[in-house]
Amino acid sequence: MSPDPARERPLRIALVAGELSGDLLGSSIVRALRQRLPLGTQIYGVAGPRMVEAGCEAIESIDQLSVMGLAEVLPAIPRLLRLRARLIERFTADRPDVFVGLDAPDFNLGLARRLRARGLRTLHVVSPTIWAWRPGRVKGIARAVDRMLCLFPFEPRHYAGSGVDACYIGHPLAEELDDGVSTARARAGLGWDADASGQVPVVAILPGSRGGELKYLAEPFARAAALLHERIPGIRFVSPVAKPSLEPGLRAAIAAHAPQCRWDVIAGRSRDAMQAADAVLLASGTATLECLLLGRPMVVAYRSSRLTAWLMLDLGLLKTRYVSLPNLLADEPTVTELLQDEARPARLADEVQVLLRDPGRRSRQLGAFAAVRATLRRDAASLAADAIVDLARRPDA
């Protein structure tokens, strides 16, 4: 039997990733697509460096979508609207076989709805948090996408009866990240002298990958480090910087509030920094999932503008008791979350110190993390690539 030409022809796949988390997820999916599809297939769109390395052509920079918070997004709206208009014009003219939105739901679902109205097939990876806030969004999602790929096992049930084709694929990072790397090996990889760092407590501090997060968290994190330095002789700190533009702000906070600390600031390499640590203090976000998958105990904190906090916490837009992915995914919450005014330097230092000194607290966290890791490992990138190709080649679209 001769091969079906419709199934062998090169495809054109458009993707739009939002934030560094979208770049991480997108890179593994792009690699899986490249393994499945014939030469000549075009994969292009709004991409970050990892997606580009995996084989995606960047037509716009991912940095344009790196905006945090409800209040903080307002000044960026005109720029985001211009970007969306350019993408609608480009993709409408190109007629890709499928449009794939990677996270960034506020931007991507609006874009997908307009493209779908123009006859394009649309798929979204990473369900919006309809289980946490704004559950009514499911109606708009049904108008925007042909298929929703969920990264967490509890999400598809929230789409029941909505008409949305939602399926659980697991999380691509669960296959990618290795929880078996020892702190000694990770520290050697950072170039630290084994004799000098072997018995020294190390704390990785990650105040976020966006400027707004750094604005609110750099100072309390630095002050907490200074307190830990006073309490624990020889303690060492390491902070990865996601983007060069963030480094001056972080270094300024360290110089102002923790100049006495031994603190390494490194470019990128967030996973190496977490693996080298005995405990991690970090902003709520995708990094908490990476920390879980790497098997490192953590304390999670978050601060935002007063307006954003009021809308989410006081006004009740947030529908879940917890905000960090480790607590949302585990059978029992084990990670301390310190939000807004609770993210005080003394409280942050106290909680990190407990993780460093209390083996029982550490083991409870790591046991919960292991169970979550097993649930999330489903070869998600392959399942996502299969779903994308299936929709792109669907004859009745």
More confident residue, 134 or 228: 228
Tokens of 282: 């970090």
More confident residue, 57 or 244: 57
Is residue 240 left, alpha or beta, with left meaning phi > 0 and alpha meaning psi from -120 to 50? Answer: beta
Q: Is the pLDDT of residue 381 over 50?
A: yes
Give the pLDDT band of residue 349 (cuts 50, 70, 90).
very high
Taking the alpha carbons of 110, 208, 76, 88 in that order, is the dihedral positive or negative?
A: negative
How large is the average pLDDT for residues 19-33?
A: 89
What residue type is 45 in one-letter code? G
Place of tokens 């493209």: 115
More confident residue, 134 or 351: 351
pLDDT for position 310? 42
Which H or E run contains 289?
helix 286-294
pLDDT for position 339? 87
pLDDT-wise least confident of 288-297, 299-308, 388-397: 299-308
Give the pLDDT band of residue 317 (cuts 50, 70, 90).
very low
How large is the average pLDDT for residues 199-209?
A: 88
pLDDT for position 260? 96
pLDDT for position 70? 47
More confident residue, 2 or 118: 118
CA neighbor of 119 nearest in space, from 79, 84, 146: 146
Give the pLDDT band of residue 8 (cuts 50, 70, 90).
confident
pLDDT for position 308? 54
φ, ψ of residue 148 to 5 degrees: the values are: -120, 125
pLDDT for position 25? 87
Tokens of 169: 């694929």
pLDDT for position 341? 82
User: DSSP class of residue 284?
Assistant: S
More confident residue, 157 or 21: 157
* Whole-angstrom distance, CA of residue 89 vs CA of residue 69: 28
pLDDT for position 22? 86
How large is the average pLDDT for residues 287-311?
A: 80
Rg of the chain's alpha carbons, rounded to an integer? 22
More confident residue, 286 or 90: 90
Give whichever of 201-210, 298-307, 359-368 has the largest mean pLDDT: 359-368
pLDDT for position 200? 87
Q: Is the pLDDT of residue 367 over 90?
A: yes
pLDDT for position 69? 46
Cβ neighbours around 30 below 10 Å, total: 26
27-74 residue pLDDT tens? 999 999 999 999 999 999 999 999 999 999 999 988 777 654 444 567
Give the pLDDT band of residue 225 (cuts 50, 70, 90).
very high
Which percentage of the chain shows pLDDT scores above 70?
88
| pLDDT, the chain, mean | 88
How large is the average pLDDT for residues 85-94?
A: 97
pLDDT-wise least confident of 130-139, 233-242, 247-256: 130-139
Q: Is the pLDDT of residue 357 over 70?
A: yes
CA neighbor of 121 nearest in space, from 93, 94, 100, 141: 100
